[in-house]
Structure 1
C-alpha cells in the first residue's frame, strides 16, 4: 500500500505545542488544557511520538469469556439458571453462596464444554470449609474451574478472618494440595478496593501487595485477580494493562510464573438507584474498557442489581451488552485494539510507575497484610474516596440523572430498599473493614427521607 502521508511534513511535539499556545491567545497552557486526575497524573491535551512513554514489554492480546453470576439458594434453581445462561450466550458461570450446598445436584447434567471449548466455572464462596472444598473439587473433575479463595480479602471485607490467620492459611494449604494444578484456587478481590473508593494507582499497588502475600506463603500454579471497572474509560484500560506488566515483573523476581487471569466486572461505586436505566450505558463502556484492558473473563452487572430485586430483563440486557460488543461491534476476543495509542501507552506507564512506587512503599513498611492490620490501607482508601465524593457533591464529577440532568429521572418502586441497602449491623471486628460505598447514596437517602415526610 502506498504511503498516504508522504506528501505531508511531519510535525514535532514542540511545533504542535507552539501552535496550541498561539491559538490560546495568551491563556496559560497548563491551567487551560492540562488537568490532574485523582491519582495525581497530569493529562495533556495531546500526545506525540516524540515524548512517548511506553512499557518495555508488549502485552499480548487474549481471548475473553462472557460470564453470568448465579447465586445459589436452591441447587436446582441455580442449575436451571446456569443452563439458561449458557443458551443465552455465556461461556463461563460464576456461582456464589453463603453456606455449603449440594455440589452434585448443582452440577447435574451441566455440560463441561460449549462449542468445543471448556466452560469456565467460577466460585465466590463466603465460607471456608475444608471438607466441603475437598468434596467440591472431586465433583469438579473434568471441569475448568476457579475457587477464588481469598482469606486476606475476607479479612479486608469483613474485618475478621474466617477463623484466624494460622488456621485459615492451613486450610488453604490443604485445599491447594487437592485442587487441580491448573485451577485458580486462590483469588485476589481487588474489586473491593475500587468499590470502596480506591483510585487506579492504589488498586494496582494493592493488587500487587495482596497477591504478593500469597506468592510469599503458598506454592501456587495459578491465581485470579478480580477487578472492578469504573467510569474513567481510558484510566480503566490503562489500569489493567499496568497491572499485567507489574505483575509479570514481580513474578520474575520469584523465578516462577503461575498462570494469572483477570476477572473483571463493572464496579458499583458509580451506579445509581435513581434513573437506573443509565446504568446500562455505564456498564457498556466499562465492559469495553475491560476488553481493551486485557480481561480474561468479563461478568457484566445488570443495570438494576442495586435495587435488591432480581429481574430477568436486567440480566438478559447485561448478557446482550457483551454479545453486541463481540458480534456487532467487532470487539472480538484475541485482538489488542489498544496498541498504538500514544495516550494509552503513556497513561499505562504513568499508572505503572506510580503503582510500583506505592507497592515498594508498602513492602518497605512490612507488607500489605501489616498495612491492612494497622489500618493504613483503609485510611488511604477513605482519603481517596472522600476526595471523589466531594467532587460528586460539588457536581464536578457528574453522574447523569443523579447530580446533574435530573429532570425526568425515574424513581423506581423499590427505591426504599436501595436507599437502605448499605446500613451495616454492628459487629465485633479485629480491623476496620473496607466498605464499598456508592457515590449517590447520600442523594438517594435525602430523597428517600423527603418521600417519607
Structure 2
C-alpha cells in the first residue's frame, strides 16, 4: 500500500499516548495498569516505537517436525517418514550410522558409548543434568568431565538439557540463568579448539505463557552469544524444544492438546530448530499410536496448513516481544553473574541454593493455582466434576523418589495439578 495514503495522519508519540490514557483513567493511577510477573518484569498496557530497542537475533531458516520413537520403531522408519516426521529422537546406545535422517540420540550409557561425528546427528548427553536429576555423577566429577572432553573432541559439540528447570517449577528468568550457568560451567571445565566451530545443542521445555516463551528462546540466543563471545568461541546453536509437563493434568486431558499446540507455536516462533510435540495423555497412559499420531498431526497442521514454515523470523519487529526479550536477557544475565560470584553453578547445586530457589518459585506458583490467579482450564476453572479417571490410568502418575545416597539433593520434575489430582482421585465413584 502506498505510504502517501497515511501522510494526512500525524504520528502520535509514546508520551502523547500515555497522556491520553491518564486522561481516560480520570485520576486513577497509571501504574495500576502494569502487571507484575514472577520474572520480575512489569507488563505495560502498550508498547511504542519511541522506546523500542530493535534486536537482530538470528533465526533458523527451517524447523523440523521431530518424533520420539523406540528401538522397534527405528527398524521401520518408512512409515513415520511417510506420515510427515522429519527428524527422530531415540534413547539408545546404538550409533545408527546407516541412516542419514536427522537424529537426536539420547545416550543411555555414555561411559560405554563410542561417540563420533556425523551430519544431522545430535547427542543428548549432559553429565551436569544427570547430576541435578539423580543427585550423583555418572562416575565422579573428574571421570565425567574427562568423558565429556572426549565427547567434545570427537563431535565438536556440547549438549545442555535444560528441560528440568521448567518441569521442576523454575520461572523463565531462572530457566535462562541456570541454562547459561550450566553452559558456562562446561566452558570453565573443558578445553576448546578455538579454530573449530562448536555445535551447541540446547533442549528446552516450553510452557503456556505464549509471548514469554517466544521471548525466552530469543533471549536464550542472546545469552549464548554473550557467553560465547566472552569465551572467544565460534558456535552454531540448535534449539530442540518440546511442550513441558509442568502444566498438564489428567483431568479434562483433551485440554492438554490445546496447551501443547500453543506451546509448539511458541517454540516455532521463538526460533527452535527441532520441535517435538508431547502427547496429550503422556502423564497417565502408556505410549500408543493414537496419541502419537495426534501429536505429529498438530505439528503438521502448524507447518502445512497454518504456514508456520513460510517465514524464518515471524516475531521480529514486535515491540512487545522485543521488550520481553531484552528484559529477560538482562534479568537472567544479572542472576547468572550473581551465581558466578557465589562460587559458580556446580557449587551452588552442592550448597542446595539452586534447589531452594526453584522450590520457592514452585510454592509461589502453587499458591497462585490455589487462589485461581493461575488458571488451568478443566482443572481449577471450568472443571468437570463428573470426570472419572481411575480406570484410564495405565501407569504410576505420582512416582515417589527412591531413597538412596546422593551427593546433593536432586531437582525433581513436578506438576502443578498433582495435589488436586491426589485429592480428587480417591473421591471418584468406583
**TM-score bracket for the superposition, by shorter chain length:** over 0.9
Query: In 2, distance between residues paired with 1:276 and 1:409?
Result: 13
The DSSP-based 3-state class of the residue aligned with 1:363 is helix
Q: State the Cα distance separating 1:128 from its structure 2 match.
A: 2.5
Instruction: State how far apart, in whole Å, the 1-side matches of 2:247 and 2:397 are.
Output: 17
> Which SS does the other structure have where 2:122 is aligned?
strand
Contact 1:277 1:303 in 2 (8 A): yes
1:84 alignment partner in structure 2:
79
- Whether 2:1 is the aligned partner of 1:6: answer no
Match of 1:411 in 2: 388
**Distance in 1 between residues matched to 2:422 and 2:77, nearest whole Å:** 35
**Inter-CA distance 81–215: structure 2 relative to 1 (3 Å threshold):** farther
Aligned to 1:37: 37
Aligned residue among 157, 167, 172 for 1:200: 172
Q: What is the aligned-residue RMSD (CA, Å)?
A: 2.1
Kindly tell me: are residues 210 and 414 of structure 1, through their superposed partners in 2, closer, same or farther at Cα, counting changes over 3 Å?
Answer: farther
Match of 2:148 in 1: 172
Deviations 1:375-403 (A, max 9, x none): 11111111111111110111110000001
CA positional deviation for 1:357: 0.4
> Contact 1:401–1:409 (CA<8 Å) still a contact in 2?
no
1:426 partner SS: coil
Candidates 90, 104, 109, aligned match of 1:127:
109
Does structure 1 retain, via aligned residues, the 8 Å contact 2:135–2:410? yes
Q: Deviations over 1:213-252 (max 9, x none)?
A: 1122224522211111101000001111011011111111
List, as ranges, runs of 4+ consecutive aligned residues in structure 1 with deviation greater than 6 Å. Answer: none
**How is 1:367-386 mapped onto 2 (pairs within 5 angstroms)?**
367-386=344-363
Change in Cα spacing, 1:429 to 1:298, as seen in structure 2 (3 Å) is same
Residue 420 of structure 1 and its aligned partner are, at CA, apart by 3.8
TM-score of the superposed pair, with normalisation by structure 1: 0.88
CA gap of 1:34–1:426, structure 2 versus 1, over 3 A, is same
Give the distance between the partners of 2:167 and 2:27, measured in 1 at CA.
Answer: 42
**Superposition TM-score, scaled by structure 2 size:** 0.93
Runs (5+) with no aligned partner, structure 1:
113-118
Q: Supply the distance in 2 between the matched residues of 1:41 and 1:155 (Cα, whole angstroms).
A: 31
State how far apart, in whole Å, the 2-side matches of 1:219 and 1:415 are.
51
- What residue is the counterpart of 1:67 in the other structure? 66
Counterpart-to-counterpart distance in 2, 1:83 and 1:321: 20
- Aligned 8 A contact 2:285 2:392 in 1: no
- Are 1:25 and 2:26 matched, yes or no? yes
Aligned counterpart, 1:210:
182
Q: Say whether the 8 Å CA contact 2:248–2:415 is kept in structure 1.
A: yes
Cα distance per residue 1:338-358 (max 9 Å; x no partner): 011111111110000100100
Conserved in 1, the CA contact under 8 Å of 2:389 and 2:425? no
Q: Is the CA contact 2:104–2:124 (under 8 Å) kept in the aligned structure 1? A: yes
Distance change in 2, residues 1:175/1:243 (3 Å): closer
- 8 Å CA contact 1:94–1:124 kept in 2: the answer is yes
CA offsets per residue over residues 252-273 of structure 1, 9 Å max, x none? 1111212221111001100111
Deviates more, 1:86-95 or 1:212-221: 212-221
Unaligned runs of 5+ in 2: 193-197
Query: Separation in 1 of the partners of 2:389 and 2:358?
Result: 31
Given candidates 336, 361, 364, the residue that maps to 1:387 is 364
SS of the residue corresponding to residue 129 of structure 1 reads helix
1:59: how far off? 3.1
- The residue aligned with 2:195 is none
Does 2:401 align with 1:400? no
The question of 1:148 aligning with 2:129 is answered no
User: Does the 8 Å CA contact 2:63/2:275 hold for their aligned counterparts?
Assistant: yes
Name the structure 1 match of 2:49.
49
- 1:115 corresponds to: none
Pick closer, same or farther for the CA change 1:305–1:338 going to 2, 3 Å: same
Q: Aligned pair in 2 of structure 1 residues 356, 143: CA closer, same or farther (>3 Å)?
A: closer
- Match of 1:270, SS state, is coil
State how many pairs are aligned: 424
Q: Classify 1:37/1:241 alpha carbon distance in 2 versus 1 (closer, same or farther; 3 Å).
A: same
Residues 288, 271 of structure 1: CA spacing in aligned structure 2 closer, same or farther, 3 A cutoff?
same
Q: Is the 8 A contact 1:159 1:432 kept in 2?
A: yes
Give 1:28-427 correspondences, 5 Å limit: 28-31=29-32, 33-55=33-55, 57-71=56-70, 75=71, 77-80=72-75, 82-97=77-92, 100=93, 103=94, 107=96, 111-112=99-100, 119-130=101-112, 133-134=113-114, 137=116, 144-177=120-153, 179-181=154-156, 184=157, 186-219=158-191, 221-332=198-309, 335-407=312-384, 410-412=387-389, 414-416=391-393, 420-427=397-404
Where 1:192 maps in the other structure, the secondary structure is helix
Mapped contact 1:90–1:319 kept (Cα < 8 A)? yes
**Matches of 2:390 and 2:126, distance apart in 1:** 36
Give the Cα–Cα distance (whole angstroms) in 2 for the partners of residues 219 and 121 of structure 1.
26
